[in-house]
Amino acid sequence: MNKITIAIDGFSSTGKSTVAKQLANHLGYIYVDSGAMYRAVTWYAMQHHFISNTYFHVQDLIAHLDQIDITFTFNPNLGYAEVYLNGKNVEKQIRTLEVSGFVSQVAEISEVRELLVKQQQKMGESKGIVMDGRDIGTVVFPNAELKIFMTASPETRANRRYQELLSKGEQVSYNEVLHNVQERDYIDSNRKDSPLVKAKDAIEIDNSNLSLEEQFNKILQLVETKL
């Protein structure tokens, strides 16, 4: 059977990565979490004191981009690939609310985007890939056979992310999470380079009232029409 490229874009915590992993497992495709790559660059910038609440040394980060090596390694116990930064597994470090607080500023930098988009396009050269993010259907894979644009109300999304962070033992409040989700929505949608917009040929799915199973079945039906 011919393999296709599936691009899943949308706002934070709409369930993109959950459904992308399910689809990749079901179809035997590669799953790539492009947001994890922006988060890994952000973690690197934090570790090297290029970004904090009071400063952002953009030029220093740009000068160090050639020292950032991001790879994915499949973890059979989890059923998906985890992200490594310069050889170290950083899955846990990059998912915190602190990283979420800086990542949209890092993702605004064109040099960062250029580097990561090139790597993402290389990963999708042979098709058979599900990638989720903000610019996958518009910039990374404009010719993807299936493009999905996921939405849900900000409150629904913040509540989902809040529950997720609590379950990982992070001490956060619902209001902090809601603020972060709304701030990232704004920066991601309004930046000059590759803003978060629905591709003309993307299918929009509002999953505010859909369970994980319902959203998976809905998208799988769309995949089957493309295959």
Can you tell me whether residue 70 is helix, strand or coil? Answer: strand
Closest by alpha carbon to 70, among 46, 94, 48?
94
Quick one: which segment of 80-88, 133-141, 168-176, 198-206 binds ligand CDP (CB under 6 A)?
Answer: 133-141
CA pseudo-torsion sign 218, 222, 225, 227: negative
Query: Quick one: which segment of 11-19, 45-53, 62-70, 171-179 binds ligand CDP (CB under 6 A)?
Result: 11-19
Residue 175 CB, nearest approach to ligand CDP (Å):
17
| Pattern 155-184, ligand CDP, x by CB under 6 A | -----xx--x-------------------x
How many residues of this chain bind ligand CDP (CB under 6 A)?
28
Q: Return the residue of 107, 129, 144, 223 that touches ligand CDP, per CB under 6 A.
A: 107
Query: CA–CA distance from 30 to each of 12, 23, 33, 146 (Å)?
Result: 21, 9, 10, 15
Is residue 119 near ligand CDP by the rule CB under 6 A?
A: no
- In the complex, which residue's CB is closest to ligand CDP? 35
**In the complex with ligand CDP, which residue's Cβ is closer, 22 or 27?**
22
- Does position 93 interact with ligand CDP (CB under 6 A)? The reply is no
Q: Which residue, 168, 150, 26, 194, is CA-closest to 92? A: 168
Beta strand pairing call for 88-89 and 80-85: antiparallel
Strand partners, 51: 56
Question: Smallest distance, Å, CB 1 to ligand CDP?
Answer: 26
Query: What gap in Å lies between CA 154 and CA 107, rounded to an integer?
Result: 21
Q: How many CB atoms lie within 10 A of CB 10?
A: 26
Provide the binding-site residues for ligand CDP, judged by CB under 6 A.
12-18, 34-35, 38-39, 103-104, 107, 132-136, 160-161, 164, 184, 188, 207, 210, 212, 215
